[in-house]
Amino acid sequence: MAFALVFPGQGSQSVGMMAAYGDSPVVRDTFDEASSALGEDLWSLLAAGPAELLAQTVNTQPLMLTAGVAVYRLWLERGGRLPAAVAGHSLGEYSALVAAGVIAFADAVPLVRVRAAAMQEAVPAGAGAMAAVLGLDDEKIVEACRQAAAAVGGSEVVEPVNFNGPGQTVVAGSKAAVERACEVARTLGAKRAVLLPVSAPFHSSLMRPAAGRLAARLAELNLQPPRLPVINNVDVAVEEDPARIREALVRQAHSPVRWVETIRRMAAMGITTVAECGPGKVLAGLTKRCADGVASVALADLASLEGALGSLE
């Protein structure tokens, strides 16, 4: 059975989320390694919270990167096989690249802190927004964004940024434009269009300044050719050249996450099961809607991880 591992990004964090994996030394060691790389105690932050602190982008990104890597290491320690491919949703792509040996974990933790700060600071607080649009096809969402931007002569940005599943797309941009796009989407037949509790318009073109800062940091790092195929967000491509991987990560910051196409690419590779590697079940829920014939599981706790050890042999 060919299977892939996918890593979650922002939105799956919660206080004490790693308690679901028991008292595992490999999990705690991974957090200790991340804390040393960052110069602060991530484990205490994770354990004590509060949730509002975990939700701050500069904290969420290092925490979710570390959580994904910790669960991957736990999977291997328990005898799990190497996957046929890996991918990650937005920030989760960095966990996938660590798993594939492209970026050293000790480099990845401070790297995503830089990424988080750059994205947070690219747009003034309160000026940007994101919204989930449900029950509307991609073409109509693009049209809703076009109409919303045209209403003010194109002076405000709103774009589709996360193609998460059929009928589930996220748009982002200037707050007023996002609100108008939600109104238009409802007139075009959307079942729901709701603002998300996020602090910046991630993956929109407003993130280009963040991409510049990220590029400068990535240029300082030594990336290696992947030991596992990594399907990237921005092109739905498997790259082997570290320079091309670096360039794709820069574009990823201001480009849409093409998750539906990523899962369909896995199906075309002969992958029959996709396992979400990390806390939560967000990606597992999306996967089953993205491609026929692809099963999904979530390694969301120790019991599910150990259960998957048998089913994925």
What are the phi and psi torsion angles at 133 (to 5°)?
-115, 120
What are the phi and psi torsion angles at 205 (to 5°)?
-65, -15
Give yes or no: 203 in active site.
Answer: yes
Helix (H) and strand (E) counts in the chain: 13, 8
Tokens of 288: 């089953």
Extended beta strands in the chain, E state: 3-7, 85-88, 128-134, 158-165, 168-174, 192-195, 273-276, 295-298
What are the phi and psi torsion angles at 236 (to 5°)?
55, 45
Give yes or no: 254 in active site.
Answer: no
- Can you tell me the distance from the alpha carbon of 287 to that of 296, in angstroms, rounded to the nearest whole number? 6
Residue position matching structure tokens 């790389």:
37
Instruction: List the beta bridge partners of residue 131.
Output: 171, 195
- Can you tell me the distance from the alpha carbon of 273 to that of 84, in angstroms, rounded to the nearest whole number? 10
Catalytic one of 12, 24, 35, 90: 90
- 3-state SS class at 298: strand
What are the phi and psi torsion angles at 225 (to 5°)?
-60, 145
- Can you tell me the distance from the alpha carbon of 269 to that of 263, in angstroms, rounded to the nearest whole number? 10
Residue position matching structure tokens 């990606």:
283
Residue position matching structure tokens 């940005």:
157
Catalytic one of 24, 203, 204, 296: 203
Known catalytic residues? 90, 203
